[in-house]
Amino acid sequence: MKLHVHGTAYEQGRQLGAAAADLIRENVRQASALLPNVESGFDPGAYTAMTRRNEAWVARVYPELLEELHGIAETSGLEYFDLLHLNLNTDVAYARAYSMVLNCTQVVARGPATADGKTYLAKTRDLSRGPTRHVFLEREYDDGSSRLEIQIAGQLTLPLGINNYGVAVGTSGQWSSRVVVDLARGDQAWHIPNLQPVLRCARSADEALEIMRDQPRVAGMNMTVVDSGHAYALEITSDEVRVSEPSDGLLVRTNHYVSPALEHLTPTPSENQGTFDRYARASELANAAHKSINMQTMWQILSDHVPPPKQSICRHAGAENAGRTYAGMVFCPQDHAVWATFGNPCDGVQYKLAA
């Protein structure tokens, strides 16, 4: 589904809720179904109280999120608290239950690596459990800012997109049994990084980097951020951000940290062999096309398949809980454009939009 929404955050929420109610309702159902599957000790009362305390903090630091959720609730027929659950990502909802869900691949090529000197950020969104329903948004705000956004419908805190300044972001999860979530800090922090402020406010990749450094959080992830002149890979933990720049114009990230300083948090091959398979394959393909990369090259990387038992970049439904690719996208800051599909990238580009 592709939608154009405009106005205030509340007004955009009303438009999103009216148009995508069925998708959002299914995502709420899938997210709620995860709760009984979390580690022992789940207490619904404590979960609700934690979410409400976090809501009070969000109301102070980023009220736009709650305003949009109220708008969605009004027109979708969904309960506001269910939307909070989908967005505040409390420990039970994300850091444990979702820990192995976001198995995605990111590739950045710029400058000397590309045929035209432009910058490209390519990404798959791979999920092994819900929520899985997506929507493509064109957002326009009253202050003149805008962005193109791929969103898990109703989950506003994890947008993938590009804004009117040409700042684009991508993400992939990073989990191992050694990642510890400190819930004592959870009342006044994001439970995973919130990418909304980056796409809403950042005028450059450097500003995006500072926003993420300053953001309180209790869990991390891998993130890429680019503009027309710069590109960074951010390895985010609960208390630090490790930054890497492209090597000869290329960056690849999957679901493990690359920085030696974070090696103790990286999954082992027995915990997640697929992240190492996809990292090696994406690096191989990007290096093989060095100096000649364009949008089509990046899409070919996202569409790549390898024989089992190695894990492909473009993943199809197979064994239970093994994960599959639900979306693919390529952003270009110079063109203020995104090419995207909902489903497997090997099926081809479904949308092309320019901001």
pLDDT tens, 2-44? 999 999 999 999 999 999 999 999 999 988 877 755 555 667 7
> Which pLDDT value is given to residue 177?
82
Amino acid at 284: E
- Of 103 and 288, the one with more pLDDT: 288
pTM: 0.94
> Which pLDDT value is given to residue 41?
61
pLDDT of 92 higher than 50: no
What mean pLDDT value characterizes the chain?
92
Give 116's pLDDT tier (boundaries 50, 70, 90): very high
Interval 200-214 mean pLDDT: 98
- Among 52, 114, 47, CA closest to 290: 114
**CA distances in angstroms from 184 to 49, 53, 62, 187, 189, listed in the order given:** 13, 12, 21, 7, 10
For residue 127, with 0-12 CB atoms within 10 Å meaning exposed, 13-18 middle and 19 or more buried, which class applies?
buried
Interval 156-173 mean pLDDT: 96
Give 101's pLDDT tier (boundaries 50, 70, 90): low
> Which pLDDT value is given to residue 175?
85
Interval 118-127 mean pLDDT: 96
Which residue is it, tokens 């005028």? 203
Share of the chain above pLDDT 90, in %: 78
Give 129's pLDDT tier (boundaries 50, 70, 90): confident
> Which pLDDT value is given to residue 118?
98
Give 130's pLDDT tier (boundaries 50, 70, 90): confident
Interval 193-198 mean pLDDT: 96
> Which pLDDT value is given to residue 93?
45
Query: 173-182: per-residue pLDDT in tens?
Result: 898 888 887 8
* DSSP codes of every residue in 90-126: -TIIIIITTTTT----EEEE-GGGBSSS--EEEEEEE
- Of 44 and 195, the one with more pLDDT: 195
Whether 333 and 228 have beta carbons less than 8 Å apart is answered as yes
**φ/ψ of residue 224, rounded to 5:** -120, 145
pLDDT of 167 higher than 90: yes
> Which pLDDT value is given to residue 293?
99
**CA distances in angstroms from 7 to 16, 17, 77, 200, 335, listed in the order given:** 12, 14, 21, 13, 24
Whether 128 and 311 have beta carbons less than 8 Å apart is answered as no
- Among 312, 351, 331, CA closest to 108: 331
Query: 237-280: per-residue pLDDT in tens?
Result: 999 999 999 999 999 999 999 999 999 999 999 989 999 999 99
